[in-house]
Amino acid sequence: MTASSPATRARALSAGIAVAFHDIDGEERHASEESLRAGLAAIESGSGYREADPAIPPVILSRDGQATKLAIRGEIAAPTLDCRLVDEAGLETAWAAPVVDGQLALP
């Protein structure tokens, strides 16, 4: 793992990135960050998407086709989301973003 700043991660998570992710059937879905947060709340309550197949690769998320990308693995039903960020300089970092009360906690 290489380092990128917590501020870069926070910007990526809070910038209203259009999010693509896979549901349990492997179908790609799209949502805003706000919708993803609402979906996490539904997951925690048991009414939303279940944990996706671990064989489904991480989904690359990008904002307006720019170099900043965030990958969220399928483990969306877990108490954390496994994330990977590649910033504009090409530095990569991975971390588990905690889910607190259905909200993705920013670093």
- β-bridge mates for residue 80, sequence order: 98
User: How far apart (Å, rounded) are the C-alpha atoms in residues 16 and 104?
Assistant: 13
The CB-side HSE value for 78 (13 A sphere, CA atoms) comes to 14
Full pLDDT tens readout for the chain, 107 residues: 233 344 544 454 444 444 555 554 555 555 555 665 655 555 555 444 344 444 434 433 333 443 233 334 333 444 566 666 555 666 666 666 666 555 555 55
What is the reported pTM?
0.27
The CB-side HSE value for 76 (13 A sphere, CA atoms) comes to 31
Distances in whole angstroms, Cα of residue 82 to Cα of each of 39, 64: 16, 22
Q: What pLDDT sits at residue 61?
A: 36
Q: What pLDDT sits at residue 45?
A: 55
